[in-house]
Each structure stands twice: as C-alpha cells, then as structure tokens.
Homo-oligomer: A and B are copies of this chain.
C-alpha cells in the first residue's frame, strides 16, 4: 500500500425529502448569496428548483440563477457563471442536477477568486488553490462529483474535454435524495451505472501490491451495482435499489475505494474523446471503451483480471489457465452492460471507424505515453478504439 492522504469533508445528507434542508445547510456553511447552477428540463418541470428556492428563501438566503447547463458541460457557461458571481457578489455556488451542473459549479467556484483564465486549471497551467464553497443537490447517480474534488469541462474551441481537481472543490454539503432519481429514463440510469462502475474499475486495476482493503471495498461497490442496477432497469420506481445505487455512486468516487494505490484513468480519457466528438453520454462511451481497454491490457496482470472475474463476476477459477477466467470476467462485464441497455461497440454507440485518427489526435499525447496500469502510446489508443468497433 502506498502512503496517502484521504480527506472527504463533505457533509452528506441522504434520503427522502432531504432537499428541504438546503437553505439551513447553506446557512450552516456560511453562504449568504447563492448562485444556483442547473440544467433545465426535469429540474424545473419536477418542481425541484422551486423547492430549492423556497428552502433558500425560508433561510433568508438570496440567490441568482444559471440554468441551461448541458451534458458534457461547456466552458461558455463557466465564464457566464463567473461573471454573475463577481457582479452580484455571490459567495456560495449550489449545483442542482447531475455531474454536468456540479462540474460547472466547481469550475465557476474555482474561477471566481482566480485572476487568470479559469481554463488554466484544465490545461494544466495552474492548480486550484482557493474556491468559493460548492454544494450539491444530486439528481442522478453517476459522476460521483457530489463527493469528489474533481470537475470535467469541455472547451468549445476544439471540443477538448479536460479535468481539474482540488480538495477545496469538494462540496461542503451534498444532498442525495434517491426519490429524485426514480423518474430517470432507463438509458440515463444505465449510463450512470456504467460511469459508477468505471470509477471503481479505474481504481481496481492497479500496479500497487498488498491492497486487500481497497480491493475488497472496490468489489463491494461493484457487487452492489451488479445486484441493484437490473432492479431499477426493470422497476424504475424501486426507491431502495435507487438508494443503494446512489450511495454506491458516491463511495465509488470520493476515493474511499481508491486510497493507497495507483489508479488507471485511461478508459476515462479514451472515452472523453468520444463524448467530446459525438456528444454521447459519458457512461455510454465508457460501456464501449472499458471492455475493449480490459481486453487490450489484461495480459499485463492476468491474475488481477482473474481475481476480478472470480470475486466480482462469480466466475469459477480456471486454475490450469487463469487467462480463461480473466476473459470470462470481461465477457460477463460486457454482457452485463448490454443487458442494462448500453451500447458496447462503436456501431451501437453511433461512433465511426473513420473518426479514429481524429479521436487519437484529440487524445493529445503526441508521441508520449499516458500513465496508469499500462502506459499507453497513440498506437495503443488506436488499437483500443479498434477493439471497440
């Protein structure tokens, strides 16, 4: 196990009707003027936005609004939000929605006290040192952004999708009401599930030895997803299964399951180029990429893939030929993704073989290599895209 620091100071308020505590929580964490960041659509139609405003007003909290955040959120809304905060002396950013609203809120929170262009944090030119406090009211289990210090934004100019992170971007509180997710269509639910599972797998495939505790915690989250996701695909209004998935989504990404071990975020990176180019759901792109990535890198540590197959997918261990077990685990993962309605090939996603050179170029490593479980060069990236055809 490697040395690590684990710091997850977010206050999580979980369960039915918890959104009514929003105003008092903002007050508890010192907010006086809030920017509410949201997408639109269901947050407005369902009456959730009105409830949040009422809760803020009941605690005498003033607010401004920034609606219209889209999936794979863009930098233009971040600039708009930063301007509002500066002009209206906002001291607290509240996201109401999923990963897109939350990530936009975080980027705004980091940008407000920063003298330069907020994109510096995403291009690697600067690191986030301070930020306005951020909080969330979550409406989809997926990105895990409600418990993480990370944000992913797409720069419209070039459609570059990049991430940034800092402990000061961890939400001060996050409200998780599973009831808010029961109206989600099956496809979006499944995309969220793929994202959650990917967050665990990116931590699970590690080169760090002697990590039994985090191996087991990773497996715990994945076993939960395998058990609970089919239930909500069949019965979207199953509150209890929604609750298990929603909390699993948080645990998957606040690093509870990933401390003290090297990670591999290449599947996320390889996928980001798909969702940047095609504007597909991130989770759908991951469903296409992750099994291909696993197939490509499995020989690096066949016993780790065999462990995943046995402990997560319930495969019988083939002691004579562990590779068979490893392959069977990947196959079951792919079948699981298909069974919950996700695409697992370029074709099913609507991605095009002829775009592969552009995807590889956009990945932007030139002649270098990525880090991770297996360092990958541009030829490897191309091979993984081709395995996903």
Contacts and interface: CB of A to CB of B under 8 A. Distances in A.
Contacts of A220: 213, 216-217, 219-220
Interface string A239-254: 0110110011001000
Interface in A1-46: 1-16, 18
Given A15-B2, A15-B4, A228 B241 contact: no
Nearest to A222: B216
Copies in the complex: 2
| Residue among A7, A14, A213, A256 having the largest count of chain B Cβ atoms under 10 Å | A213
Interface string A126-148: 00000000000000000000000
A287 B374 CA distance: 44
Given A224-B216, A251-B213, A251-B217, A11 B3 contact: no
Interface in A188-213: 209-213
B11 A5 contact: yes
A4 B8 contact: no
Interface in A57-82: none
A240 B14 contact: no
A284 to B, nearest CB: 24
A269 interface: no
Contacts of A286: none
Nearest to A219: B220
B227 A223 contact: no
Interface in A164-201: none
A259 interface: yes
A221 interface: yes
A248 B1 contact: no
Contacts of A216: 219-221, 223-224
A297 to B, nearest CB: 24
Given A4-B14, A7-B11, A243 B260 contact: yes
Interface in A237-293: 240-241, 243-244, 247-248, 251, 256, 259-260
A170 to B, nearest CB: 10
| Residue among A2, A9, A13, A220 having the largest count of chain B Cβ atoms under 10 Å | A220
Given A209-B240, A217-B251, A251-B213, A16 B3 contact: yes
A228 B212 contact: yes
A135 to B, nearest CB: 13
Contacts of A7: 10-12
A201 to B, nearest CB: 16
A213 B244 contact: yes
A3 B13 CA distance: 8
5 contacts: A3-B15, A7-B10, A217-B220, A247-B259, A247-B260
Interface of A: 1-16, 18, 209-214, 216-217, 219-221, 223-224, 227-228, 240-241, 243-244, 247-248, 251, 256, 259-260
Given A213-B224, A216-B221, A243-B260, 18 more contacts: A1-B15, A1-B240, A3-B14, A4-B14, A5-B12, A7-B10, A7-B11, A14-B259, A15-B260, A210-B244, A211-B244, A212-B244, A213-B247, A213-B251, A214-B247, A216-B219, A216-B220, A217-B217
Complex A-B, nearest 8 residue pairs according to Cβ-Cβ distance, in ascending order: A3-B15, A210-B240, A216-B220, A9-B9, A220-B220, A1-B243, A6-B12, A7-B11
